[in-house]
Amino acid sequence: MAPDTATTFSRDGDDNPQDFIRALQRLFMLGAVGTFDDVTKAKYFGFNLKAGSTADIWHRGLPIATRASWALLEAAFLVNWPEKVAVVKTTSEKKAALLACMLLDRDLLKKVAVAGLEEYSHVAYVDRVEKLAGDIPDTGNLLVDTVKEKLPRVIFKLVGSKDMTWAEFAQAIRALTIAEISEKIEEEREKVARERRIDAFLNTPNTPSKALGAAFQNVTLSSTPIPPQPRFTPTAAAHQTYQPAPTFITRPDIERLVDVKRNTISIQPDTPAGRDQYNIQANQYLAEQGTKKPNEYRPYPPTPGSQPLASGCQRPPAPRQEFTWRQVAGGIENRVRRGGQAAATSINLVSHILEYEEELERRNPVTREDYDLVIEEHRQLKEAYARALSDQGKAEGSSN
């Protein structure tokens, strides 16, 4: 006889009547010929009802003839608990379900259980999205861009904005590594933190010192700009080291543009010889500057065959330092063309903050000569402030 594999049925919980009757039918079909006659099947049905349940009370209320015949019993069961027909979703409902499927920032890098197996949330997400798109079906890939726009910013940047089919979209997300996602998340966090610092600076209440600082934003303290100083280590004779606070000299964009033009590295042709020369220049920048951001004093070599700096274009792929260098150099030139620093106050504020962060990274013990240079810069700045205060007092006195 076939093993007893049928489950009990009560209809007092969430058990499905159709699942129960089909389990009995499978059991009867697997039995040997003659093992289950009509009467035996009917008895077996009754034995699989949970005692005292809704289904058991219903069964005991049936006529004796019905309870003794499997054919009559099965028919009565299907009348009392008819098979439910699933509602077929409309195309609009399927589209709504697709667009409601979301991958949240807080779920990135987490694992979820799917069919008893663990996989990363972005993989489980794209599996479900691909199925929902196939159910519509979106054979023309018309909804790919809409779904892509709902991705977390980190995933969107890694996947890219180019047109894709559903298969390409799914493959692009499945191919993302945890290391790539983690690195991009950290970049986004740093960007958000920087934007908050900028907002805090811009939203600081007006004070006399802030107003005075704004008035001196375009002051140049010396005719020759002082480039960022290299790292120094104390000599054996030095018994004392100094760590002066960062000092900044705000320069007009026209002066910065002169340095951009003077220091810009020529674009090599896109030839084997040009690419070899470019590799030498890029490796030299890495050896001398490390992870420092490019500026007018330390330009980054442009990709062979790429567009001029001020065009705002470059042929991908290009290193991150090149993107930064193009933004710095192109921004300076464009602001000069539009009318100089008066049209670029907000950009200057951002530039000051970035330069401050770099200066903090550069701070190391320096020699006495470097310390004296910083002290002299501070002296010039204090004198300039004193003159401004004096002029401001005279102006106020004359107005009274």
Output the pLDDT for position 109: 92
pLDDT of 83 higher than 90? no
Whether pLDDT at 336 is above 90: no
| Range name among 54-58, 216-220, 294-298, 373-377 with the lowest pLDDT average | 216-220
Burial string for 27-61 (b: 16+ CB within 10 Å, else e) reads bbeeeeeeebeeeebbebbeebbbeebebbeebee
Given a cut of 60, whether residue 310 has pLDDT beyond it is yes
Enumerate residues 6+ apart whose C-beta is below 8 A from 55.
9, 10, 11, 12, 49
Average of per-residue pLDDT across 8-31? 85
What is the chain's mean pLDDT, rounded?
77
User: In 3-state terms, what secondary structure has residue 241?
Assistant: coil
273 or 374, greater pLDDT: 273
DSSP letter for each residue of 364-394: --B-HHHHHHHHHHHHHHHHHHHHHHHHHHH
Q: Average pLDDT in the 380-393 region? A: 64
Q: Is the pLDDT of residue 181 over 50?
A: yes
Helix axes 70-80, 17-30, angle to 10 degrees: 160
Determine the pLDDT at residue 73: 92
Instruction: Average the pLDDT over 6-34 and give the result.
Output: 79
Q: What is the DSSP string of 44-79?
A: HHHHTBPTTSHHHHHHHTS-HHHHT-HHHHHHHHHH
DSSP 85: P
For residue 249, give the nearest of 214, 225, 229 by alpha carbon: 225
Name the token pair of 259. 């340095």
73 with 81: CB under 8 angstroms?
Answer: no
- CA dihedral sign, ordered 310, 316, 320, 321: negative
CA end-to-end distance (rounded Å), the chain: 114
Strand 117-120 versus strand 111-114 pairing type: antiparallel
Beta-carbon contacts of 224 under 8 Å, excluding residues fewer than 6 positions away, are: none
Please check the confidence at residue 396 and state whether its pLDDT lies above 70: no
Q: Compute the distance between CA of residue 80 and CA of residue 72 in angstroms, rounded to an integer.
A: 12
By residue count, the chain amounts to 400
Ranges 221-230, 257-266, 344-353, most confident: 257-266
**What band does 152 get if pLDDT is binned at 50, 70 and 90?**
very high
Average pLDDT over residues 280-292: 86
- Confidence at 232, pLDDT banded by 50, 70, 90: very low
Q: What is the pLDDT of residue 364?
A: 46
As a whole number, mean pLDDT of residues 175-200 equals 88
Provide the percentage of residues in the chain whose pLDDT is more than 90.
Answer: 31
DSSP structure string for 256-297: HHHHHHHHPPPPPPSSHHHHHHHHHHHHHHHHHHTTPPP-SS
- pLDDT tier for residue 205 given thresholds of 50, 70 and 90: low
Distances from the Cα of 84 to the Cαs of 4, 16, 135, in angstroms?
27, 10, 21
Cα gap 239→242, rounded to integer Å: 10
Q: Give the span between the Cα atoms of 97 and 101, in whole angstroms.
A: 6
pLDDT at 388: 63
Tens-digit pLDDT profile for residues 106-134: 999 999 998 888 999 999 999 999 999 99
**Pair of tokens at residue 19:** 């699942």
- Lowest mean pLDDT segment, chosen from 143-147, 185-189, 234-238, 346-350: 346-350
Alpha carbon dihedral 26, 30, 36, 41, in 10-degree steps, equals -10
DSSP type of residue 105: G
Element (H, E) at 118: strand 117-120
Arithmetic mean of pLDDT, 218-247: 50
pLDDT score of 346 more than 80: no
Question: Which residue type does 181 have?
Answer: I
For residue 223, what pLDDT is reported?
Answer: 44
For the chain, which residues make up each domain, given as ranges?
Answer: 17-80, 91-182, 208-390
Q: Is the pTM here over 0.75, yes or no? A: no
Cis peptide before 317 (omega within 30 of 0): yes
pLDDT average, residue stretch 180-198: 88
**Measured between alpha carbons, how far is residue 179 from residues 74, 109, 182 in Å?**
59, 10, 5
Span 129-151, mean pLDDT? 92
